[in-house]
Chains A and B, each alone.
Chain A
Amino acid sequence: QKEVEQDPGPLSVPEGAIVSLNCTYSNSAFQYFMWYRQYSRKGPELLMYTYSSGNKEDGRFTAQVDKSSKYISLFIRDSQPSDSATYLCAMCVGAGANNLFFGTGTRLTVIP
């Protein structure tokens, strides 16, 4: 079993829709949770960063962490064609950790 599971999609939504992207994980020691966005033929770029459980909002993006269920989510409100990309979740165990564990990514297309 992989440490981090993510539905690869692809996911297609109309412009303006609310998008929900999710990851589950098996290691209860994970404390730091991130979402990266990767455009085609580009490197991943950090989108959201959260510590422990709870919600974090940044503009149209909201990240949720439910440590009791080992489940994290990224919500995109009022989705735009420019949001079309692959979204990767990532997590690590603590401040001294040397590496991140990534999900396989979910490919999102927002149709104008």
Chain B
Amino acid sequence: NAGVTQTPKFRVLKTGQSMTLLCAQDMNHEYMYWYRQDPGMGLRLIHYSVGEGTTAKGEVPDGYNVSRLKKQNFLLGLESAAPSQTSVYFCASSWTAGNQPQHFGDGTRLSIL
């Protein structure tokens, strides 16, 4: 049982490049989330999904897009990467609403030069 798997684990991009981060969960969870974690800022919600085919904005959505075409996958896209998007990105999932325990992946470390 892998839980929540994130790929890639590390990536270095140049400013203006695009990329997609992939999150896959095998727990049949309805809710999925993308967070970024920065020193002194804690975990901040970027986007989330309450089910297949749905997405919604979180606290810091600008510069990111997401898609949830399949229940088990949640993709986070950066269309034109900026140095301010250098961060550690975490995906999480939960059975239902936000009050339920969230299961996290081990993160993607992204550097934008």
Interface residues of A (CB under 8 A from B): 4, 6, 8, 31-32, 34, 36, 41-46, 49, 88, 90, 92, 94-100, 102-105
Are B104 and A92 in contact, CB atoms less than 8 angstroms apart? no
Which residues does chain B contribute within 8 Å of A97, judged by CB atoms? 97-99
Which residues does chain A contribute within 8 Å of B107, judged by CB atoms? 41-43
**27 pairs across A/B with beta carbons < 8 Å?**
A4-B42, A6-B42, A31-B99, A34-B101, A41-B107, A42-B106, A42-B107, A43-B107, A44-B43, A44-B90, A45-B104, A46-B101, A46-B102, A92-B98, A92-B99, A94-B99, A95-B97, A96-B97, A97-B98, A98-B50, A99-B48, A99-B58, A100-B98, A102-B42, A102-B43, A103-B42, A104-B40
Which residues does chain B contribute within 8 Å of A8, judged by CB atoms? 40
Which residues does chain A contribute within 8 Å of B104, judged by CB atoms? 36, 43-45
Which residues does chain A contribute within 8 Å of B90, judged by CB atoms? 43-44
Given contacts A43-B107, A88-B43, contact A99 B4 (CB under 8 A): no
Given contacts A99-B33, A104-B41, contact A41 B106 (CB under 8 A): yes
- Interface assignment of B22: CB less than 8 Å from any CB of chain A: no
A97 to chain B, nearest CB (A): 4
Are A98 and B98 in contact, CB atoms less than 8 angstroms apart? yes
Which residues does chain A contribute within 8 Å of B59, judged by CB atoms? 99
Q: CA A99 – CA B107 in complex, angstroms?
A: 18
Which residues does chain A contribute within 8 Å of B58, judged by CB atoms? 99
Which residues does chain B contribute within 8 Å of A100, judged by CB atoms? 45, 98, 102
